[in-house]
Structure 1
Amino acid sequence: MSINLTRIDERLIHGQVAYSWSVAYPCDEIVVIDDQAAQDDMQKMLLEMAVPEGKGFKLFTVTEGSEYFAKDNGLKSFLVIKDPAVILALVKAGIHFDSINIGGMYFKEGKKEITKTVYLDERDVAVFKELADVGVKLDVRTAPGDKSLELSTVI
């Protein structure tokens, strides 16, 4: 398994993810793990259309993603998810992450502003603390060139 970059972004694949991040962290494929999107053919088609030419695309449920990353396929993957709980589920399934990038978790009722693009509720904070406790670095950046903020220092 070779995950080059893991990013939490509620928009999943969009211009900044598809181009800025996949250039800064070269990859062979963009992998989305999202139970809801994996069951929606229209969402799958839209995500696939956003993937840059020459890059592969996969969309998995959490269970399928755990199985996929448990094996080494020789590809450099850029993993994109919406919810930090997905990362925690993968960690509990034995998938290792040195760090994850948190970029787009937007305002909703009950969420508190951490940065202009990261809003967290109590559940999110608990998940991130659990990830930090197992040694995962929590890198908050909107774009690859932005200054990094270690999330565990502010939650």
Structure 2
Amino acid sequence: MITLVRVDNRLIHGQVVEAWLPFLKVSRVVVADDEAASSPLIRAAMALAVQSAIEVQILPLAQVDFAALSKDGVRTLVLLRDVAAVPFAFAHGLALDELNLGNVHFGTGRRQVSPSVFLAEAELKALQQLAEQGVRVEARAVPSEKPVELMDLTERWAKAG
């Protein structure tokens, strides 16, 4: 069972390990990312960062069986590197009620919508399409923060232009 899907450029890092994993009480972390999956060094570093009681899978995005993860009963955190991966995963069986934007780096054409999230217009539109399908989209770095909902992110994006 997918407990949370999080978009975070850093994938597995301190906030995930120290805040999200204990909060979500997951038994598995799935990193769906081509770059991380192709690097033995990155895979090893991420696996070492997570306590051994939690299973870590680092797979290319296209090889993740999102439908199976949704149904197997194992509490799972899914980590995606960028917003572009979300519609792909959704189209390939990812069933989600909520999407967390944890960290999306600044880039060309992106506007700041929270302290750690910058979005381009196409990314914002993709998130809005997910919301129209019933997905709650929010930005927050750690569980103790107040979530910033998509409507507020959209308003901030418009004001930042």
TM-score of the superposed pair, with normalisation by structure 2: 0.88
Contact 1:132 1:152 in 2 (8 A): no
| TM-aligned CA deviation for residue 153 of structure 1 | 3.7
Query: What root-mean-square deviation, in Å, do the aligned CA atoms of Structure 1 and Structure 2 show?
Result: 1.3
- DSSP 3-state at the match of 1:101: strand
Question: How many angstroms apart in 2 are the aligned matches of 1:16 and 1:108?
Answer: 22
| TM-aligned CA deviation for residue 52 of structure 1 | 2.2
Instruction: State the Cα deviation string for residues 44-70 of structure 1 (Å, max 9, x = none).
Output: 1111111123111001112211x2x32
Contact 2:114 2:153 in 1 (8 A): no
> Number of residues paired by the alignment?
152
Q: For residues 48-87 of structure 1, what are the structure 2 equivalents within 5 Å?
A: 48-65=47-64, 67=65, 69-71=66-68, 72-87=71-86
Contact 1:128 1:152 in 2 (8 A): no
| TM-aligned CA deviation for residue 92 of structure 1 | 1.0
Partner of 2:108: 109
- DSSP 3-state at the match of 2:99: strand
Percentage identity across paired residues of the two chains? 28
| Structure 2 unaligned regions, length at least 5 | 155-161
TM-score of the superposed pair, with normalisation by structure 1: 0.91
| Structure 1 unaligned regions, length at least 5 | none
Question: How many angstroms apart in 1 are the aligned matches of 2:14 and 2:51?
Answer: 9
Question: How many angstroms apart in 2 are the aligned matches of 1:95 and 1:120?
Answer: 22
Matched, 1:89 2:88: yes
Partner of 1:8: 7
Contact 1:10 1:105 in 2 (8 A): yes
Instruction: State the Cα deviation string for residues 30-83 of structure 1 (Å, max 9, x = none).
Output: 110001211111111111111123111001112211x2x322333111111111
Contact 2:28 2:75 in 1 (8 A): yes
